[in-house]
Amino acid sequence: MPLGNLTSQFFANIYLNELDRFVKHELRAKYYIRYVDDFVILHENKNKLNFYKNQIKEFLKNNLKIELHKDKSKIFFIRKGITFLGFRHFYFYTILKKNKRKHVNNKIKDIIKEYKEMEDYKKLMQRFESILSHLEIGNTYYLRNNFIVKLNNNINMLNIKQ
């Protein structure tokens, strides 16, 4: 099933619930974050992280019959940043990855084109606001403002009724 499919996301959350319970209750990892099949564990001790990684690898193999991706399962210092869910997370701030900025920009252009003929302001704003709320995860104030200005310019040009 394609990963983008909502049912596959739903089933991944059900299936990996056992992993969540294991990491939180057995390993007692304090800083564990999972979204669908991506997860991050933060800890100041590299040896502890290696221990977690080995325990998780065994748990997944024995209990869920799946494996960690060998190229994506890494341990590194947070000062280098963590790429997670389209953002680059650092200790004190979070930025949108460059390729995601282009993706969002293209998506906004597509939304404007899609509603060009329909002139449905309410639907246009619902889609646009969902993009903006996702961007709020990071330090994207200026980026969001640029998108708002771009949208307003296009709305005025298209004479979309508000």
The pTM (predicted TM-score) of the whole model is 0.68
CA 58 to chain centre: 26
**Confidence at residue 59, expressed as pLDDT on a 0 to 100 scale:** 97
**Confidence at residue 95, expressed as pLDDT on a 0 to 100 scale:** 92
**Confidence at residue 92, expressed as pLDDT on a 0 to 100 scale:** 87
Kindly report, residue by residue over 2-38, the tens digit of the pLDDT.
Answer: 455 678 888 888 999 999 999 999 999 999 999 888 9
Average pLDDT of the residues of the chain: 86
Average pLDDT over residues 103-110: 87
Residue 23 burial by CB count (10 A; 0-12/13-18/19+): exposed, middle or buried?
Answer: buried
Distances (CA, A) of 31 to 12, 20, 43, 102, 147: 21, 12, 7, 31, 33
